[in-house]
Amino acid sequence: MARGVNKVILVGNLGNDPDTKYTQGGMAVTRISLATTSVRNDKDGNKQERTEWHRVVFFGKLGEIAGEYLRKGSQCYVEGEIRYDKYTGQDGVEKYTTDIVANEMQMLGGRGDGGGGGGGGNYERGNRPQRSAGGGGDAPQRSAPPQRQAPQQQRPAPMDDFSDDDIPF
């Protein structure tokens, strides 16, 4: 059920390593910053390049996978939906954020720095395949509930403390 369609499809590269946190209930919440660049010709015939930095968030199993396999520079495909949020900053000012809540992810050929794992693999939200964490190779490392990492986006980063309810929405 629902009324309407809210779908986003992105292919881009991560600006930083993923940031994974865990809710009290133990659910992974991974955030990445994903760049997509487009080029247009302005009316003077000059190429104009513009990059959008998308805040993408993965929940649950998908959050674990994203946190484990993606790295700064990784290229990936993301499918999800747009979620607009509003919160009041510590300065008492209302702020707005836009996130892409992913429900599918696919690693693509080109990795960034973090050498590591092989190519691809497509992951959806739901009753997904088992993936032994801490897996092979020089696979990603994950501490338990880690610290936020500096995104460079111009946009606010609302103190994410998640509760289990917060999520799938």
Partner DNA sequence: TTTT
| Span 79-108, contacts to DNA by CB under 7 A | none
Q: How far apart are CA 43 and CA 45, in angstroms?
A: 5
Least separation in angstroms between CB 37 and a second copy: 4
Binding residue for DNA (CB under 7 A) from 112, 116, 156, 158?
112
Residue 144 binds which entry of DNA, a second copy, none, CB below 5-8 Å type-dependent: none
Adjacent-strand bridge partners of 54: 34
* Binding pattern for the stretch 26-65 against DNA, x by CB under 7 A and - elsewhere: -------x-x-x-------------x-x------------
Question: Which residue number, 14 or 78, has a Cβ lying nearer to DNA?
Answer: 14
Name the DSSP class of 164: G
For 77, phi then psi, to 5°, come to -100, 135
User: Binding to a second copy (CB under 8 A): which residues in 13-72?
Assistant: 13, 21, 23-25, 27, 29, 31, 35-40, 42-43, 47-55, 59-60
Q: How far apart are CA 24 and CA 156, in angstroms?
A: 23
Residue 113 binds which entry of a second copy, DNA, none, CB below 5-8 Å type-dependent: DNA
Give the containing element (helix H, strand E) for 19: strand 19-22
Least separation in angstroms between CB 24 and DNA: 27
* Six token digits for residue 81: 């939906």
Binding residue for a second copy (CB under 8 A) from 113, 133, 135, 149?
149
Buried b (16+ CB within 10 A) or exposed e, 31-40: bbbbeeeeee
Given a contact cutoff of 8 angstroms between Cβ atoms, the answer to whether 51 and 87 are in contact is: no
